[in-house]
Structures are given as structure tokens and as C-alpha cells.
Chains A and B, each alone.
Chain A
Amino acid sequence: MTAPTEVLFDAPGPKARRNNVILSIVSALVLAGIVAFAVWKFADAGQLEAAKWYPFTFAQIQLVLLQGMLATLKVAVVAALLALVVGVVFALLRLSSRRIISLPGTIVLEFFRGVPVLLLIFAMFLIFGNTIGPFWSVVIGLTLYNGMVLAEIIRAGILAVPKGQKEAAMAIGLRSGQVMSLVLMPQALRAMMPTIIAQIVVLLKDSALGFIVTYQDLLYQVNLIGREYNNLLPTFLVGAVLFIIINMIVAGIARWLEKHLQRKTTAHVDAEGLSAKTVT
């Protein structure tokens, strides 16, 4: 995948290298200027006062943020596992050769894929919230949407396994269920793992919406601290940093899996191309 981008231009010569250095310095200066301007403006508006940041030095506030972070992770983990299950089920439904099975699968899939996840979570909460509570409202909302996206990813993965694999499996006498569960699905999942994890990062980000249905996640606590100490902006900044750290760790795991798992599959999937399939 690096090949085509490298042929887009010649190896830099001495002049280009000098230009690069100059450009780097100039852009570093511009960037520093922008940062300085922003800091100056925020300081001017009193957003950098010690009083606005002071609460974060207390163990109690850190604990609240940590609890929020754990709550967000909890909802994301449960929803991710369920979404995988839903994804496998709907991928199989859609791959079924019988229209009576594949058609309803497709309709349900298109419905939940076409609706904003915010609306799904909100609807779960308003319709079933009294019996299932905020936690499950968020989990089910996230599961329905991301499960459908994962179903499409897994389906693409199954279709990408070379035909010979299926034919060979059938030739040695496996039943179609066995072909799927022993041969095709494991390879598809492995091939698609980076894409699946990228979608899970999306799910993790969407789990930030839990606060609208009173689930006490990271953003709920961020709103709460910001309200109490009148430091909405600093608190959101802290919240964003925490989110970015979590997501980058998960994205790092995706890259690691990409490197280590793809050798074990025959499916020829251009991982770069497929990562575009994840849907925010």
C-alpha cells in the first residue's frame, strides 16, 4: 500500500530537502503562533485561571472522572460484544440463499443502519427505559446500529474468502453449517479484524451519547463537574483528552491485530480499502 504513494514524487533532492526544512520551521512557527493566540485569548477570558482547573487536583474529582470513564468503557465493551453477535447473525441472514430469510434480514438491517444512533438510544430509553434502565438503553441502541454495520463488514469478509476454500471444505464432506463455522467465518473474522476494531472505536465514541438518557458516563460526569464548578470548557477539554487516549489505545490494538492476524487467513482483503467501510 505504500508503493503507490511513493511513486507520486521523486526522492527529494538537496533543494527539496532544504525547502522541507524551511517549510517545517515556518509551519512550526505558525502553529506555535496559533497556539499562543489561543492560549492568550483563553487566558484573557479567564478560562485558564487556577480556579477553573483547581477541582481537578482533588482525588474526589479524579475518581468521578475515572468512574465515568469506566462506565463508558463498560457500556462500550458490552455493546461491542453484543454487536459482534448481532453482526454475525445478520451477516448469515443476509447470505442465506432463501429470500424469505435474507429479505427480512436486509430490511431490518437497512432500518437500523439508516437511523441516527442518537435517535435509537433515545427511543430505547423512552419506550423501554422504565424496564431496562439507562444502561441497557444505551447498550441496545449502540448494539442495533453497530451490529448492522458489523454485519455488512463480516459479510464482505465472508465473500472475500476464495471460493476454493468453500469447495474444498464441501469436498471433504462438511455440512454447510460446518463450512461456515469452521472454514469461512474464522477466516472472515480474522481478515476483517482491523475493520471490526475500527468500527468498535466508532461505537466507543458513540457511547459518549449515554448522558442524554441519564447514564452516568464520562460526559455525564463532565457535564456535572462543569455545572458545579462553572468550568465547562476546561472540563470538556479534560474529557476529550481522556476519550482520545482510550480511542488511540483501541486503534493501536487494531493496528497490532492487523499485523499479526492477517497472515492466518486466505481472504484477500485490502485492509486499507476496507477500513473505509467503518461508518461513524
Chain B
Amino acid sequence: MKKLSMSIASIAVGLLALSGCGQGGSPDAPAEGGGETKTAPEYTVNESADVADSKTWQAAKDAGELKVGVKFDQPGLGNVKAGSKTPEGFDIEIAKMVGAELGFKPDQLKFTETVSANREPFLQQGNVDMVVATYTINDERKKVVDFAGPYYVAGQDLLVATDSDIAGPEDLAGKKVCSVDGSTPAQNIEEKYKDAQLVTYDTYSKCVTDLQSGSVDAVTTDDAILRGYAAQFEGEFKVVGKPFTEEPYGVGLPKDDKALRDAVNDALQKGMDDGKWKEAFEYSLGSADGVKMPEIDRY
């Protein structure tokens, strides 16, 4: 017993030492681009919002919180930093913008992490009230959930080293291109660009590590996600800028809640008209030059 308690004591001491020797504050991410601190856009909360026809909205209003499913691992779109509890990114800003228009203050939004495979089940079973998580609108998904938006039309693109001569997907022959296992971008490469060597991992950060070490020549996925990495590795990587698919990102909503869908569409339209959308984009993803705001599809 003595030995055991000794070892427990020594672990405790070790842990204390570990937490005791750290510097205060947080380390600056060395590769974070820009430099100047940008001010977060602020959204005016529409106190008089009333979507009483929507059960989802009414329930959220009564509870005083709107549950939003977002990604936690996509820099620039929905990302949580080490030690932080709150995600940040363009998806998050869109959620705040829509939330404000629906009458919810930013601190009334409750963000839940979703991964690609569980967005539909989360919406169907009411775990979240809406999903803003690089969620491509397509017909298969429309069978089980509703979509507002699109709020952005992404396209599959390539992230390459700044001095790379890859100028589009047609240059991929014989090159190594990395994406996430089982994802739509990976499947696209496998089907349409058979001459490229596809490399797949479970996370994009592994792809980016490989791109940095030169083990792969390009990383491919939606341009919005790549922009996030390009911003993080300014001067090292660039986005080719020739999207070769169309991925309209929508706000996923529970099926058959038309009142809510209309309200979210109105909120998105208002944000695009009054410049908040552009502010959110530039805050999260960098310059919005040449970026087109999408046409909202009220199907």
C-alpha cells in the first residue's frame, strides 16, 4: 500500500509542478496571418422578433436559448482554439447574425459540435434548432431536413504551396492530393481525376502537415475551409481559386418548419443587404473582394 500511495503522491506532485511552471496568458499562434486585431462585427438584436408560427422558435424562445450545431475543427468557419470554450468563424458569425434577427443575443446561442455524419440526426431529433456547419444543400439531405439560404456558395478548390505550379484540378495528374477519408471532395477526386494520387486522413490538419513537409502537393476541399488555412499560413500556402464544384452552404433546419425557414431566409437576406454579411466574411475569412453573395433559394 505504501508504494501505491507513494506513487499517487508523486503523480500529484508532478501535476502540480506541471501546472505551476507554466507562463500566464496564451501563446500567440505563430503562423496567424494579418497581425492587426480585427474587431468582431456586432449584430443588433431584433427584440420584437416573433416567429410564433414556428414550434422550434417558440420552444427556443421559452427556453431562452437557441441551440446551434456547428463544426469545431474548421479554421475560419467553425473552430475552437485550445483552452477556449467558444467557437469562432464565418459559420459562427452567420449563426449570430441570424440569431440576432430571430431575437437571440449572442450569449443566448448554445453551440454544439457536430461532425458531418450526425448533422441530420441532430436536427431530426431536436438536439439542435439549426445547423450552420459547412452544410451543403443537396436533394438527398432535403428529404430529411430543410435548408435556408444558401448563405455562401463554396466550391471544391486546392490549397497549394505559394510557389506551386498547380493552377487547377487538371494539373493534378501524377500529383499527390490530400483530403478527408470518405468525404465528398475525396470521392470527387477519386472519380473525376483518376490520374491524381489521393491521400486521405481523418482530419484536414494532418493533410496540412503533409503539405508543409512536401509529402503531398495539394490539399483539396471546399474553398471556404481552405481560405481558413491559407489565412493561418499566410505566405506559405495559397488557394488556387478555381473552384471546380458548387457547394451551396445552407442553414440546416428541422423538416417542415416553414415559418422558421422563412424567418431565417429573411435574416440572411437582411444581413447581405445591410453589409453585415460582408463584415462577418472579412472578419473570419479575409478580404471579400471578388466574393459573390449568393441568391437565396426559397424552394
Contact = CB atoms under 8 A, between A and B. Distances in A.
Q: Do A and B assemble together? A: yes
A227 B23 contact: no
Interface string A95-132: 00000000000000000000000000000011001110
B199 to A, nearest CB: 15
B246 interface: no
Contacts of B11: 249
Interface string A125-148: 110011100000000000000000
B22 A57 contact: yes
A60 B121 contact: no
B23 A57 contact: yes
Given A221-B82, A252-B7, A227 B122 contact: no
Interface in A1-54: 45, 51, 54
Given A57-B23, A214-B115, A232-B209, A131 B125 contact: yes
Interface string B17-54: 01101111111011100000000000000000000000
B24 A227 contact: no
B22 to A, nearest CB: 3
Interface of A: 45, 51, 54-55, 57-64, 66, 125-126, 129-131, 212-214, 221, 223-230, 232-233, 249, 252-253, 256
A229 B29 contact: yes
B203 A230 contact: no
A60 B82 contact: yes
Given A125-B118, A230-B209, A230-B233, 4 more contacts: A66-B18, A227-B73, A227-B75, A233-B209
B81 interface: yes
B188 interface: no
B166 to A, nearest CB: 21
Given A64-B82, A130-B121, A253-B4, A59 B22 contact: yes
A87 to B, nearest CB: 24
B26 A58 contact: yes
With a 10 A CB-CB cut-off, give which of B3, B18, B27, B31 has the most chain A CB atoms.
B27
Contacts of A223: 73, 203, 205
Contacts of A57: 21-23, 27
Contact of A59 (B23, B30, B121, B208): B23
Contacts of B127: 130-131
B15 interface: yes
B203 A227 contact: yes
Contact of A226 (B117, B205, B233): B205
Nearest to B202: A212
Contacts of B245: none
A115 B21 CA distance: 44
Contact of B22 (A51, A62, A126): A62
Given A45-B213, A66-B19, A126-B118, A229 B205 contact: no
Contact of A224 (B25, B26, B82, B115): B82
Contacts of B30: 51, 54, 229-230
Contacts of B213: 45
A225 B3 contact: no
A77 B25 CA distance: 32
Nearest to A213: B115
With a 10 A CB-CB cut-off, give which of B82, B121, B206 has the most chain A CB atoms.
B82
A213 B80 CA distance: 16
A232 B202 CA distance: 14
A228 B202 contact: no
With a 10 A CB-CB cut-off, give which of B15, B81, B122 has the most chain A CB atoms.
B81
B200 interface: no
19 contacts: A54-B27, A57-B22, A58-B23, A58-B27, A60-B27, A61-B26, A61-B27, A61-B83, A63-B83, A64-B82, A129-B121, A130-B122, A212-B202, A223-B205, A224-B73, A226-B209, A230-B30, A230-B212, A256-B3
